[in-house]
Structure 1
Amino acid sequence: MGNVIFSIIWLIILIFIGFWVAGIAAGIYIIVLPFTVCINALSGLTDFLLSVVQFPKYCAQGIVDGRGFN
């Protein structure tokens, strides 16, 4: 069992930052993704945006584990 304080901090990050950032990144990802078929240089951008969209999962894992920020 991890530290409860870190779990609470991760929850706050999830609610106030994680959902908002992931939502904005998801919108951009949806718009840019079809263009990667024609422009291969955009694949790096879409890979980054996909990892940003998955940030709430990272926060939720931090809540469950109660781990720090290292």
Structure 2
Amino acid sequence: MGNPIWFVFWFLIFWFISFFVAFLAAFFYIIVYTLEVIFRELSGLSGLLLQGIQFPHYCLRAMLDFKSPCA
């Protein structure tokens, strides 16, 4: 079992930051993903935005695993 401090850290990141990041990334992802058909160069940006959408999942997984942010 890891340090419970990391649980609290990831919980705060999850609750206060990750939803904002995911909503903002989802908005731009819809636009960029549709334009990716025309402009293939946007595939890297759409991948980055997809990671932003998945950020709450990453935070929750790290919270449940008591993962250090540096690990």
Give ranges in structure 2 of 5+ residues lacking alignment: none
Moved over 6 A (4+): none
Deviation at 1:61, TM superposition (A): 0.7
Residues in 1 aligned to 2:49 and 2:17: alpha-carbon distance in whole angstroms: 15
Structure with the higher helix share, 1 or 2: 1
TM-score scaled by length of structure 2: 0.92
Deviation at 1:37, TM superposition (A): 0.5
TM-score scaled by length of structure 1: 0.94
**One-letter amino acid of the structure 2 residue matched with residue 63 of structure 1:** M
**One-letter amino acid of the structure 2 residue matched with residue 55 of structure 1:** F
Residues in 2 aligned to 1:59 and 1:18: alpha-carbon distance in whole angstroms: 7
SS for the counterpart of 1:68 is: coil
User: Counterpart in 1 of 2:51?
Assistant: 51
Task: State percent identity of aligned pairs.
Answer: 43
Give ranges in structure 1 of 5+ residues lacking alignment: none
Q: How many residues are treated as equivalent by the alignment?
A: 70
